[in-house]
Amino acid sequence: MNKPSILVARPVFPEVIERLQQFFEVDSNQNNEAWSKAELIGKLQGKVGVFTTGGDRMDAEVLTACADLKICANMAVGYNNFDLPAMTARGVLGTNTPDVLTETTADFGFALMMATARRMTESEHFLRAGLWTEWRYDMFAGADIHGATLGILGMGRIGQGIARRGAHGFGMQVIYHNRSHLDAATEAECKARWVSKEELLKSADHLVLVLPYSAQSHHAIGGAELAQMKPTATLVNIARGGIVDDVALAAALRNKTIAAAGLDVFEGEPKLHPDLLNVPNVVLTPHIASSSLPTRLAMANLAADNLIGFLTQGNALTPLNPEVLLKK
């Protein structure tokens, strides 16, 4: 019997491709060719599944043009590249990769906060440029992490991981803002207190963004919000580009409205707004918060498990629209 055909839209671990090949005819973009939407649609003809990463937009136009498609398996926890209502309407399952990346991403969020507060990349650039000639009492003096107030906007699994690190490891006071309050046991475990967004902005020494991107969270941090923060505060975004207004942030960094920022995600990435490259008080990383080798492999395997489970047995481990499974 012919195996069903799937498309792997981006390069991925060879061992994961080999696993998929046991079940499917695999057409894989291991050369990382930049496909236009029309090319992606062309590649998807006759494919019942697609393995995507966060940059691959699966919108209504693509779904409509790819009638054979039954599942889109994202190798990411975020899925703002999916038009989920359009998938559900067409009976296409969407899956993501939660949980396996929580602790690794929380590690990175914490590391980025520390690098930002303690001006690590700025001082490294200074050193590499051969500018270090003497010890100075105020050289790259930054902000403390221990004992400071950690603000978290978006308190899902990753936000909770960052809160635990801050409260238990560094004696930070943790405040958070989220649409819903955590239950009392989780709040106690994270030593975290719910506050309004205004209080979060006003009180945080270090503000970390971990909320999903949506039309509602677009530019949740813009000029008006930055103006409410302390001039000594730092801002870290490990969530999604577009949650921060990058132009407003670059201006706030230039004008010292806030002290510094650490950014792993950008509006329009992989392109960056040039203003961000021209301010020294920002730590920039290329969307790598979940990128430890074991975690990226676990994410790829979970996306593969979802494809295999759904296309061979009608089940998926981490469905985003489980109503599609129920209709099968």
Kindly list the catalytic residues.
240, 269, 287
Q: Is 301 helix (H, G, I), strand (E, B) or coil?
A: helix
In the list 20, 28, 49, 54, the residue contacting ligand GLV (rule: CB under 6 A) is 54
Show contacts with ligand GLV in window 64-103 (CB under 6 A). 76-78, 101
Q: Which of residues 54 and 151 has its CB atom nearest to ligand GLV in the complex?
A: 54
The interface mask with ligand GLV, positions 101-140, x = CB under 6 A, is x---------------------------------------
The residues pairing with 174 across neighbouring beta strands, listed in sequence order, are: 150, 192
**Dihedral angle, C-alpha 150, 154, 157, 162, nearest 10 °:** -20
CB of 187 to ligand GLV, least distance (A): 25
Q: Which of residues 118 and 296 has its CB atom nearest to ligand GLV in the complex?
A: 296
Six token digits for residue 74: 């994202």
Q: Measured at CB, which residue is nearest to ligand GLV?
A: 78
In the list 28, 290, 301, 318, the residue contacting ligand GLV (rule: CB under 6 A) is 290
Q: Which of residues 40 and 77 has its CB atom nearest to ligand GLV in the complex?
A: 77
CB of 47 to ligand GLV, least distance (A): 23
Nearest CA to 28 among 46, 14, 44, 8?
Answer: 8
CB of 112 to ligand GLV, least distance (A): 13
Nearest CA to 324 among 83, 95, 96, 92?
Answer: 92
- Residues 170, 175, 180, 183: is their CA dihedral positive or negative? positive
CB contact at 8 A, 325 and 319: yes
Q: Is 141 helix (H, G, I), strand (E, B) or coil?
A: coil
CB contact at 8 A, 236 and 109: yes
Instruction: Using CB atoms within 10 Å of the CB of residue 137, give its burial: 0 to 12 exposed, 13 to 18 middle, 19+ buried.
Output: exposed
Q: In 160-225, where do the E strands start and end?
A: 173-177, 192-194, 206-209
Q: Which of residues 74 and 257 has its CB atom nearest to ligand GLV in the complex?
A: 74
Q: Which of residues 212 and 222 has its CB atom nearest to ligand GLV in the complex?
A: 212
Nearest CA to 58 among 78, 89, 79, 43?
Answer: 79
The interface mask with ligand GLV, positions 236-275, x = CB under 6 A, is ----------------------------------------
CB of 158 to ligand GLV, least distance (A): 9
CB of 78 to ligand GLV, least distance (A): 3
Please tell me whether residue 211 binds ligand GLV under the rule CB under 6 A: no
* Count of chain residues binding ligand GLV (CB under 6 A): 6
DSSP-derived secondary structure letter, 55: T
**What is the rounded distance in angstroms from the CA atom of residue 319 to the CA atom of residue 310?**
10
CB of 108 to ligand GLV, least distance (A): 10
Q: Which of residues 28 and 295 has its CB atom nearest to ligand GLV in the complex?
A: 295
Interface positions with ligand GLV (CB under 6 A): 54, 76-78, 101, 290
